[in-house]
Amino acid sequence: MLKEQKIYDYDDQEVKERITNDLISAFKGVYDPEIPVDIYELGLIYKVDINDEGHVEVTMTLTAPACPAAEIIPQQVEEAALTVDGVNSATAIITFDPPWTKDNMSDEAKLILNMF
């Protein structure tokens, strides 16, 4: 997905840090419709890269290969990334290597789901 491009110094550590923090906040607004925990706390985000043109590539997984929200969640991740100032385009790439396990979840997510 694309939006109006803004030019930033993506090598500047402060810019990278701000964008990273804003991306995390944006991803925390995306939920698996079957689980009352956001995808970031579920541990579905494996890697986020941003290039010099402001393109963000998100490598992520789903809780299961047959996840009924497999088409919706990546689109929502891309849309969330585009809300961040400095992100000009975004692509979500799904992988199942390594497969997701409950060990990926944050302590907060485990507490909410009573999985301790």
For 53, the token pair is 């043109």
Convert the pLDDT of each residue in 6-48 to its tens digit.
667 878 889 889 999 999 999 999 998 888 999 999 999 999 9
The one-letter amino acid at 17: E
CB-based contacts of 17-26 (< 8 A; 24+ apart in sequence): 18/86, 19/50, 19/84, 19/85, 19/86, 19/87, 20/48, 22/84, 22/85, 22/86, 23/48, 23/56, 23/80, 23/81, 23/84, 23/87, 26/80, 26/81, 26/83, 26/84
Q: What is the pTM of this model?
A: 0.88
Convert the pLDDT of each residue in 82-103 to its tens digit.
999 999 999 999 999 999 999 9
